[in-house]
Amino acid sequence: MKKIRLMLVDDHDVVRAGLKSFLQTQEDFEVVAEAGNGEDAIKQALAVRPDVILMDITMPGMDGMQATRQLRVLCPECFILALTVHDDKQYFIQMLAEGASGYITKQAAADDLVAAIRTIAEGHIYLQPALARWLLDDYQRLVRQLGGAPLLVADKTGSEAVGLEVLSLRERQVLELVAQGLNNHEIGSYLKLSPKTIARHRERIMNKLNMHSRTELVKFAIRSGLVKLG
């Protein structure tokens, strides 16, 4: 069995010890590194290249947001799960904007944390359901402010706005499935296309929308109304 290699980033030794003790009871988890602040997290991540980084937000020195921003550039193959006490919309939105693949609070059930790690390790997005509602609330609020007009995003030049109309029907299908959490193999199986073809579609989608991560694609799909949160 290939284990999911984890790194724990939290400034409290007791929290890290408790997390490590619990997570290593899972047969498919292996804690390979720990860090107490953002600077150390970057050093450790570059040294061991974990699959998933459990990232606290509020830490002395470099915080979790700053570390996440740098790690998305320096260690793009490492997926980041925000694990925090902050049940707060601002932190939630900012961590996703910095490139986190998921967000869960320390008040969540242990089974939810395990599920979040496994989901992210497969390249999917995990948003704690009670918090994910904030993305839909923002979309609906902005639509109301615009009198029901669809929301658009700026193109690469910033001079115009682009929405779903720039995507082909197939690209919209792929984007919808990406936003639902499917990986390239699963999307390919569903659409009867090869994973390489799906990867090319995703690359074109990102180029057209000037986006660089799955999180950005998910947020766009929600804003544009392509997918809806329950």
Predicted local confidence at residue 220, as pLDDT? 83
Give Cα 140 distance to the centre of its chain. 21
State pLDDT tens for residues 69-89: 999 889 988 999 999 998 877
Name the nearest CA neighbour of 61 among 48, 43, 46, 79.
43
> Are 117 and 9 found together in one domain?
yes
Residue type (1 letter), 156: K
> Where does a domain end: 105, 127, 149?
127
Q: What is the mean pLDDT of residues 1-30?
A: 95
Angle 126-127-132 (CA atoms, 0-180°, nearest 5)?
A: 155
Average pLDDT over residues 88-112: 87
CATH label of the domain that carries residue 152: 1.10.10.10
pLDDT tens track for 172-184: 889 888 887 788 8
56 and 123 belong to one structural domain: yes
Among candidate residues 136, 132, 141, 166, the one with its CA nearest the CA of residue 152: 166
Beta bridge partners of 162: 153
- 40 lies in the same domain as 80: yes
- Going by C-alpha positions, the residue among 96, 11, 98, 92 that lies closest to residue 58 is 11
pLDDT score, position 135: 63
Residue type, 147: G
